[in-house]
Structure 1
Amino acid sequence: MKVTPILFSGPMVCALLREIEKPGTGKTQTRRVLSPDNIRFMRGGINEPIVKCTPTKEMLAEALEGARNMRLIEHVLTWDCPGAGYVMANLKYAPGDLLWVRETWCEGPIGRDGVVEDWREYFYRATDHDVMGIDDGDGFSVLNADGSLKSPWRPSIHMPRRASRLTLEVTDVRVERLQDISEEDAIAEGVSRIATVGGAGWQDYSGGVGFGDPRRSFLSLWDSLNEARGFGWDVNPWVVAVTFKVHRVNIDALLEKLTKYACEDGVDLSDRRSGEQSDPALGAAPVQALGEAGQAP
């Protein structure tokens, strides 16, 4: 079992929460561009140790040029490449892994006019829409030099593990071209249903009136996040498609429950995957042991 953070935008956090509240209506898949951030090349020969290395963008692009016979067995990806021959790589994600969600956040409490209005430890921009400023410790909001309220929100990349409220249990991993996404998978990506002139439809994330096809909705969502980075829909990049179950629980609270379950039931606690982010105390203890929505029964 490997434990790693994963970033989501506000709308996608809402889609994850929607899946918890009403299963089958929210987000249970995510696609990430195949990049040096989520792949390691594996090199070695007969009677030689396997060495992992992080490819440069240029190395990866060359290896993926004309890639054929893409195969994924657990977390080991292999393919044939005319320029590089046989390629073997290690993916960042594999079934059984746990991903703790990073989102835009801030610390509490929140106060106005000398009165603390909310004592919660953490707030989340995706759902806490009434948070206006930072409390100075005496119930007053911190101001900028021009007298305006100082924004309390911190980027998702800086969210500490202790503040995370959602954990994803990986159930399947595939590598495919972006445009290979099916209608069913587009819905699983969490695109929002809306009412349109023609009836029920799907949100246009570029600001239009909506679509009748969830794949077009996903296209607009994808381009809103990735086109400016050079990985738009028309580029049709290779992506890692991760399917997961959503659990409304902090990662460390979940791990504590899993460890307790494993110890009580005599589950083998040996680590199934190597890596500095692995949790050797967890092994094969199933998340289902925690009951509904990943919470302690």
Structure 2
Amino acid sequence: MKTHPILFNTKMVNAINSNAKSQTRRLFKNNKPETNALLINIYAGIDVEKCKNELMRTHKVSCGDIFWVRETFAKLCPVDKNGYTDFNKEMIFYKADGEPDIIKYDADGSELENQFMKWKPSIFMPKDACRQFLKVKNVRLELLQEISSNDAKSEGIDITDDYWGTDGARNYMWGEEFGFKHEFFFADGNYGIENLKNHDGYKASFFSLWMSIHGKESLMLNPLVWVYDFEKIEKPISF
């Protein structure tokens, strides 16, 4: 068993916490010239499974490995009204938990006017601050646009059962320069995302989520992605 860091934004951390997310997709990064022929064959539909199996042999993540989650966080040490900082009582806060109910002081002990937390990006979260651990149950390769409706739901998209009296899935590009101006997609709708046609609301929701993170161009390139199924576990003893 190996451990690997993995980044999730706050929305996806919340989806994991609520047991709505049990799958994630990560870009396949081609850093080796010898894999180019395999990628060309996959996109051309030639010996697809054979080529994927060849690429799988080079991957560092296997079933049974553990992801330790990096999330947006902040570290604070308490400062009292006399300006004394107690560095022995460092506290860690996580953005997914919301704004903490604390009063903050500067180094002189003066109460700060701006009480908003200055969050640090997840990439900087140290290993000892990790609170989420995910055990990899399955690993596979697929093209991004091959995602199924069930897998789209497993990606942790926001789903409602009361969108105009029926099921709906969130449009993560809502409010931006995008073809859909509604907050949700109808789950059983038939949508075209950019040049992609005939997708139900679940897949449309996932595609909008992907574009909100990676940009519209990434979706249209239909990249090869690693697909990980995972389950939440307690902190490993050896971690």
How does the TM-score come out when normalised to structure 1? Answer: 0.61
1:70 deviates by: 3.8
1:4 deviates by: 0.7
- Give a deviation string over 1:83-117, Cα, whole Å, max 9, x none: xxxx674113210000000011001346797799x
Contact 1:6 / 1:100 at 8 angstroms: preserved in 2? yes
Alignment CA distance shift 1:110-1:94 (3 Å): same
What is aligned with 1:244? 230
**What is the 5 A alignment of 1:1-297?**
1-19=1-19, 26-36=20-30, 54-55=31-32, 63-67=38-42, 68-71=46-49, 78-79=53-54, 89-109=57-77, 121-130=91-100, 136=106, 140=110, 151-194=117-160, 195-207=162-174, 208-211=182-185, 212=187, 213-227=201-215, 230-232=217-219, 234-247=220-233, 249=234, 254-256=235-237
**Inter-partner Cα distance in structure 1 for 2:79 and 2:164:** 43
Contact 1:122 / 1:163 at 8 angstroms: preserved in 2? yes
Alignment CA distance shift 1:139-1:127 (3 Å): farther
**Inter-partner Cα distance in structure 1 for 2:137 and 2:111:** 44
**Inter-partner Cα distance in structure 2 for 1:66 and 1:246:** 35
**Inter-partner Cα distance in structure 2 for 1:238 and 1:216:** 18
1:61 deviates by: 5.2
Aligned partner letter, 1:226: H
1:180 deviates by: 1.1
Contact 1:133 / 1:152 at 8 angstroms: preserved in 2? no
Unpaired runs of 5+ in structure 2? 175-181, 188-200
The SS at the match of 2:232 is: strand
Alignment CA distance shift 1:34-1:198 (3 Å): same
Contact 1:108 / 1:135 at 8 angstroms: preserved in 2? no
The SS at the match of 1:153 is: coil
1:197 deviates by: 1.7
1:71 deviates by: 4.0
* Greater displacement, 197-206 / 10-19: 197-206
**Inter-partner Cα distance in structure 2 for 1:183 and 1:63:** 27
Alignment CA distance shift 1:131-1:71 (3 Å): farther
Contact 1:133 / 1:151 at 8 angstroms: preserved in 2? no
The SS at the match of 1:90 is: coil
Unpaired runs of 5+ in structure 1? 20-25, 37-53, 80-86, 260-278, 280-297
RMSD: 3.3
Aligned partner letter, 2:168: G
Aligned partner letter, 2:7: L
Alignment CA distance shift 1:182-1:114 (3 Å): farther
More relative contact order in 1 or in 2 (CA 8 Å, sep 6+)? 2
The SS at the match of 2:58 is: strand
What is aligned with 1:262? none
**Inter-partner Cα distance in structure 1 for 2:148 and 2:94:** 32
The SS at the match of 2:25 is: strand
The SS at the match of 2:96 is: coil
Contact 2:141 / 2:225 at 8 angstroms: preserved in 1? yes
1:130 deviates by: 4.1
The SS at the match of 2:209 is: helix
Amino-acid identity (%) = 31
Contact 1:106 / 1:123 at 8 angstroms: preserved in 2? yes
